[in-house]
Structure 1
Amino acid sequence: MEQIKHRLSSRLQVDTEFGSFLGDTRIRLLEAIDRHGSISQAAKAVPLSYKAAWDAIDAMNNLADQPLVLRSTGGKNGGGTQLTEHGRKTIALYRALEAEYQSALDRLSAGLNDGQTSDFQQFRQLLRRMSMNTSARNQFAGHIVGLREGHVDFEVRLKLDDQNELVAVITRESAETLGLVIGMEISALVKSSSVLLLTDRNIRTTARNRLWGEITRIHDGPVNSEITLVLPGGRSVCAVVTHDSVASLGLAVGEQACAIFKASAVILCLYH
C-alpha cells in the first residue's frame, strides 16, 4: 500500500506574554487597512464585521508597545484609518516569521513521512498550548511600578504608558503566587461591565482607576450600549452602559469621557 504523504500547512499565531497578539486574520486586516485607508472597507475585504474589526484593532493597539493603527473619528462610514510605520514593520515581521514557520513544518512533514510520528505528536501538543482566551473585554499590558503590602492585600501599580497607570488590589496569596516585583511585565484584565463612565471632571469617586479618553465608537445593543474610549497613547478601554446612561450623560463620538473602575475589579495575569 502506498504511504500517505502528510504536509502541514502553517497558520501562524504570535503570542506575547500577555496573550494572543497576532494571527492570520488580524494581519490580513492590517494589510487591508493599509490598502483601503478605511476600517469599513478593510473589514469587508477580510471579511469581518465592522465591530469585530474595531475590537481586533483595539486589542492590537493595547498589546503593542506602539500603536499599529491610527484613526480619526467619524460615523460608521466616516473617519479614516491608517497604519503607522510600526504597523507596517509588524506585518513584515509576521510574514517573515510565517515563511520560516512553513519551512519548519515542511521539514517536520518530511520526518513524519519517514515514520517519525512521535515528533509530530509532540509538536501538535505544543501548538495547543500557544493561545489563551479570556472573556474580559479590556486587556492591558504594562510594567509594575509600585507595590504596597498590607495586612491582607497587596496594592499593585501598573504603568501602561507615559500617561496612564492602573491600580489593582489583590490578596497576599495571589501576590506571592505571581511572584510580583517592581519592573515585572504583567497583564491586567477588566470586564467591560465593571467600567463606569463619567463626563464631569468635578465629580469625586472612590474608584482608584480613572482613564480619560475620546469616545470613538458607540455600538448599540437591544438593552445596553458598548462604548469605546481611546486613551492618549493609542490604547483603548471599553464600557457597557445602558441606553438611558448614554442619553443622560450625552455620550457621543468625539466627546471626552472618563472610564472608572475599582482596583478590586482588576485581575492580574502572568504568562510563562
Structure 2
Amino acid sequence: MATLSIRIDLGPDNRLGPGKVQLLEMIAEHGSISAAGRALGMSYRRAWMLVEAINTGFGQPVVEAQIGGRSGGGARLSAFGIEVVAQYRGIERAAAAAAAPFLARLAAGIAEG
C-alpha cells in the first residue's frame, strides 16, 4: 500500500514533518522530552534540538517546560503546540484523501490507462 508523507516548509529553516509531529505527540503523551525521545529511539540531545528548532521556527513556544516537583520537571505542549499538531494532522488527512486514487494507481503499477 502506498502512503503519503507530508513535510511542510514554513520558511528557510522552519520545516514540519511526520518526525517532528510524532515527537510532539510523544511529549504530550509522556510529559517529558527525554521520555518522548526514548519512546522514539532517539537521544535526549536529538529530541531537545528538534524541540528547540520547532520553538525557534514558530517564534513562540510549541513545547513548554514544566516546573518540577518531587518527581522533577517535564515538558508539555503549549496551547499553540496542540494546535500545530492538530493542523498538521488535518492537512495530512486531507492530503491523503485527495491523493488516495493516485496512490492506488501507483501502487497497482499504473495498470489502468
Q: TM (normalized to structure 2)?
A: 0.81
Task: Give the one of 15, 35, 41 matched to 1:41.
Answer: 35
Match of 1:55 in 2: 49
Q: Distance in 1 between matches of 2:98 and 2:79?
A: 29
Q: Distance in 2 between matches of 1:81 and 1:55?
A: 14
Match of 1:95 in 2: 89
48 and 78 in structure 1: CA distance in 2 versus 1, 3 angstrom threshold:
farther
Task: Give the one of 3, 6, 24 matched to 1:9.
Answer: 3
Which is richer in strand?
1
Match of 2:18 in 1: 24
Q: Distance in 2 between matches of 1:27 and 1:59?
A: 12
Does the 8 Å CA contact 2:23/2:36 hold for their aligned counterparts?
A: yes
The alignment yields a C-alpha RMSD, in angstroms, of 2.2
Does the 8 Å CA contact 1:18/1:63 hold for their aligned counterparts?
A: no
Letter in 1 for 2:39: A
Task: Give the one of 67, 71, 79 matched to 1:85.
Answer: 79
User: Within 5 A, what are the aligned runs for 1:1-272?
Assistant: 7-72=1-66, 78-112=72-106, 113=110, 114-115=112-113
Does the 8 Å CA contact 2:8/2:17 hold for their aligned counterparts?
A: yes
Task: State the identity %.
Answer: 35
Letter in 1 for 2:17: G
Runs of 4+ in 1 over 4 A off after TM superposition: none
Deviation per CA, 1:185-236: give whole Å up to 9, x if none: xxxxxxxxxxxxxxxxxxxxxxxxxxxxxxxxxxxxxxxxxxxxxxxxxxxx
Deviation per CA, 1:86-129: give whole Å up to 9, x if none: 000111111111111212321223454324xxxxxxxxxxxxxx
Does the 8 Å CA contact 1:61/1:69 hold for their aligned counterparts?
A: yes
Q: Distance in 2 between matches of 1:73 and 1:52?
A: 22
Specify every segment of 5 or more residues in structure 1 that has no aligned partner in the other structure, as ranges.
Answer: 1-6, 116-272
Deviation per CA, 1:41-88: give whole Å up to 9, x if none: 1111122110000000000000114210111578xx953111100000
Larger radius of gyration: 1
Letter in 2 for 1:13: R
Q: Which has the higher contact order (CA 8 A, sep 6+)?
A: 2
Specify every segment of 5 or more residues in structure 2 that has no aligned partner in the other structure, as ranges.
Answer: none
Q: TM (normalized to structure 1)?
A: 0.36
Letter in 1 for 2:102: L
Secondary structure at the residue paired with 1:79? strand
104 and 16 in structure 1: CA distance in 2 versus 1, 3 angstrom threshold:
same
Q: Distance in 1 between matches of 2:11 and 2:17?
A: 15
Q: Tell me the number of residue pairs that the alignment of Structure 1 and Structure 2 aligns.
A: 107
